[in-house]
Chains A and B, each alone.
Chain A
Amino acid sequence: QKEVEQNSGPLSVPEGAIASLNCTYSDRGSQSFFWYRQYSGKSPELIMSIYSNGDKEDGRFTAQLNKASQYVSLLIRDSQPSDSATYLCAVKGSGGSNYKLTFGKGTLLTVNP
């Protein structure tokens, strides 16, 4: 089992809709979780970080974390065509691997005008 799993997509939503991206992880001791956005041909850039159970909101983005279920998600409200990109879930390890940062394969999101 891969350490970080994402719904493979691609995901297509109309402009103005809510896009929902999901991620599960295997290291029960992980404490730090991140969502990155990557445009084609570019480097990943951070959009959200979350460390505690519950929701964290930043503008149109909401990250949700459930450590008991080992599940983290990203909601994008009022999706815009400029949100079209690959979204990467990343998890830092625990214990002696607490600096190790592992990514899921990513979910390609397309927002249609």
Chain B
Amino acid sequence: IAGITQAPTSQILAAGRRMTLRCTQDMRHNAMYWYRQDLGLGLRLIHYSNTAGTTGKGEVPDGYSVSRANTDDFPLTLASAVPSQTSVYFCASSDRVNTEAFFGQGTRLTVV
């Protein structure tokens, strides 16, 4: 089934460790997004990419980095995880400017 795949589904990570959350889409969408979702704070944009080779910062970019080497993949890296990065992370993609975003199934990350 076409769509967005995130990996892993869940992860427990020791503080200070490096972690990359993977996101792959097979819809050839131009734009991709990473959000974190925390109780009471809603979906907050971490980073986004309009097209391969370009990235932009969202509301809460600190402690995270992204790359967009090709259309399909948009990995999110935590260079040195901290407990405040415990959250559910969603990857999403959209085609053109005036179209909706489709979401992956989410990654539940716990930093201990």
Contact = CB atoms under 8 A, between A and B. Distances in A.
A101 B48 contact: yes
Interface residues of B, number: 28
A69 interface: no
Contact of B45 (A34, A49, A102): A102
A95 to B, nearest CB: 11
Interface in B50-109: 50, 56, 58-59, 90, 92, 94, 97-106
B9 to A, nearest CB: 12
A41 B61 CA distance: 24
Contact of B30 (A43, A99, A105): A99
B90 A44 contact: yes
Contacts of B41: 105
A45 B94 CA distance: 13
Contacts of A103: 35, 42-45
B94 to A, nearest CB: 7
A105 B40 CA distance: 7
Contact of B106 (A43, A99, A106): A43
Contacts of A104: 42
Given A43-B103, A43-B106, A99 B97 contact: yes
A99 B97 CA distance: 6
Given A97-B56, A103-B45, A106-B43, 18 more contacts: A32-B97, A32-B98, A34-B100, A34-B101, A43-B104, A43-B106, A46-B102, A51-B98, A88-B43, A99-B48, A100-B45, A100-B48, A101-B48, A101-B92, A101-B101, A102-B45, A102-B59, A105-B42
A76 B100 CA distance: 20
Contacts of B101: 34, 46, 90, 101
Interface in A73-113: 88, 90, 92, 97-106
B58 A100 contact: yes
